[in-house]
């Protein structure tokens, strides 16, 4: 925000215009990023799904099928939106808007760099939690307004699920706030300065990794992603809360889901992986240009990739198993972590002295490297297979 103000200020415009532009330009940029993002994510998801199921994925439209999602979006835009006769028209229209706005709003506090941030709210973390629950209201509204039993049940289940997983997520956020002593996302990033070994995941070595896993599982469930995609379980509930939606009204829910995935991944990367900070100080800037946005988006997209990967690896949970995981596994763990890490923060405010700096990250980097090698080998294998099939 201030950065934009300074950049525009150089043009010699009248002050009120500078103030207006400094507010509107970042908002428009963010909206463009969020509105066009799903096109990329859906393409990535179809390609990854294809790869994991040993198929090719989209291929016809554009080079490597890259324009497939653009074509889908255009098709959805031109499709007729059906309003069921018995639906509550006003709420039926309002619901997708609410879901999208709720998903978009959290983006404003994400720090893309030390100075690239929509707004550095002093209640940042709390704001994210509050705003991202707006979409729950949207979901219930959609399910109820449709006046369809499947939609209503999908909405109720998804609300129950989001609400259940909200608590472990909020509790694990409390722990991070406790360690840093600030709710502002900017301060949380600054507390992790110094490169890879100083990121919050490695502090109190295995504890914060567990904390991150609790948070990540909870966010996965809050995005209604597999294995927690009960609300959209085709075999039970048709399409859940958006059964009655068609055309771009349906696309709005889709967009919100993907935006929420990216937002929560970005939040997770800010809280645990240093956000816009590079793994090594030397990589923070290249030729005076800050690489903060690059690092943040790279980290967030890595987490989004993990979400997509899990979708094709794990089977869907049943509703009772889902509730079991939330209330009887994640919640006790997160409550215990609040107390244990809280006590440790009092005794050792900077984390365990040596272990944190040298044990955690090499293990995780090793796993990451194995993952990358595995993916590369799988790609080679599938290339070879395609050639064999063609021959």
Partner 1 sequence: MLPSYVPVLILALVAIGFSAFTLGLSQLLGKPRPNPAKNSVYECGVPPIGTARERFPIKFYMICMIFILLDVDAAFLYPWALVFRDLGVFGFLEMGAFMLLLGGGFTYAWKVGAFDW
- Footprint of partner 1 on 114-143 (CB under 8 A): 118-122, 125-127
Tell me the window of 178-186, 194-202, 288-296, 373-381 that interacts with partner 1 (CB under 8 A): 178-186
The answer to the question of residue 83 lying near partner 1 (CB under 8 A) is yes
Judged on CB neighbours under 10 Å (0-12, 13-18, 19+), 196 is buried
Residues near 167 by Cβ (< 8 Å), separated by ≥ 6?
326, 331, 334
Q: How far is the CB of 166 from partner 1 (least distance, A)?
A: 7
The label of the residue with tokens 């939330």 reads: 326
User: Contacts with partner 1 in 179-238 (CB under 8 A)?
Assistant: 181-183, 238
Q: Min. distance of Cβ 110 from partner 1 in angstroms?
A: 11
Rounded to an integer, what distance in angstroms lies between the CA atom of residue 366 and that of residue 359? Answer: 11
List binders of partner 1 among 1-40 (CB under 8 A): 1-2, 5, 19, 22-24, 26-28, 30-31, 35
Which of 65, 124 has the CB closer to partner 1?
124
Q: For partner 1, which residue of 92, 216, 249, 253 counts as binding (CB under 8 A)?
A: 249
Nearer to partner 1, 83 or 294 (CB): 83
Neighbours of 173 (CB within 10 A): 21
Residue from the set 7, 36, 163, 379 that interacts with partner 1 by CB under 8 A: 163
- Site map 318..347 versus partner 1, x via CB under 8 A: -xx-xxx--xx--xx--x--xx--xx-xx-
Q: Which two structure tokens, joined as six digits, stand for 230?
A: 């009960």
Residue 336: CA count within 13 A, CB half-sphere: 11
Q: How far is CA 122 from the centre of its chain?
A: 21
Name the minimum Å distance from CB 5 to partner 1.
6
| CB 151, min distance to partner 1, A | 7
Nearer to partner 1, 35 or 210 (CB): 35
Tokens of 169: 């997520």
Q: What is the rounded distance in angstroms from the CA atom of residue 81 to the CA atom of residue 370?
A: 46
What are 111's strand-pairing partners? 117
Site for partner 1 in 255-294 (CB under 8 A): none
Closest CA to 137 of 147, 145, 125, 148: 145
């Amino acid at each position: 925000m201030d950065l934009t103000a300074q950049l525009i200020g150089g043009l010699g415009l009248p002050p009120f215009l500078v103030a207006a532009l400094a507010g509107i330009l970042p908002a428009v940029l963010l909206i463009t990023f969020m509105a066009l993002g799903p096109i990329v994510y859906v393409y990535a998801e179809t390609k990854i799904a294809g790869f994991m199921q040993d198929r090719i994925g989209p291929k016809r439209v554009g080079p490597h099928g890259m324009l497939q999602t653009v074509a889908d979006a255009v098709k959805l835009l031109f499709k007729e939106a059906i309003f069921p006769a018995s639906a509550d028209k006003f709420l039926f229209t309002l619901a997708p808007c609410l879901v999208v706005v709720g998903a978009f709003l959290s983006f404003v506090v994400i720090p893309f760099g030390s100075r690239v941030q929509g707004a550095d709210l002093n209640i940042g973390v709390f704001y994210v939690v509050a705003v991202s629950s707006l979409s729950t209201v949207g979901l219930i509204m959609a399910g109820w307004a449709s006046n369809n039993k499947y939609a209503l049940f999908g909405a109720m289940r998804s609300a129950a699920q989001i609400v259940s997983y909200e608590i472990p997520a909020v509790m694990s956020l409390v722990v991070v706030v406790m360690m840093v002593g600030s709710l502002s996302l900017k301060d949380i990033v600054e507390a992790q300065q110094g490169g890879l070994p100083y990121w919050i995941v490695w502090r109190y070595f295995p504890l914060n990794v567990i904390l991150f896993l609790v948070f990540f599982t909870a966010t996965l469930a809050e995005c209604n992603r597999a294995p927690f995609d009960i609300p959209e379980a085709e075999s039970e509930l048709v399409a859940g809360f958006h059964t009655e939606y068609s055309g771009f009204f349906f696309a709005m829910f889709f967009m919100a889901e993907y935006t929420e995935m990216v937002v929560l991944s970005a939040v997770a990367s800010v809280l645990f992986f240093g956000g816009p900070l590079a793994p090594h100080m030397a990589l923070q800037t290249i030729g005076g240009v800050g690489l903060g946005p690059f690092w943040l988006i790279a980290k967030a997209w890595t987490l989004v990739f993990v979400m997509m990967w899990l979708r094709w690896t794990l089977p869907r949970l049943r509703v009772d198993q889902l509730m079991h995981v939330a209330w009887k596994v994640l919640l006790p763990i997160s409550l215990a972590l609040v107390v244990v890490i809280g006590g440790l923060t009092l005794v050792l405010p900077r984390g365990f002295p040596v272990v944190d700096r040298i044990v955690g990250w090499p293990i995780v980097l090793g796993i990451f490297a194995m993952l990358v090698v595995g993916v590369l080998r799988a790609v080679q294998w599938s290339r070879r297979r395609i050639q064999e099939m063609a021959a």
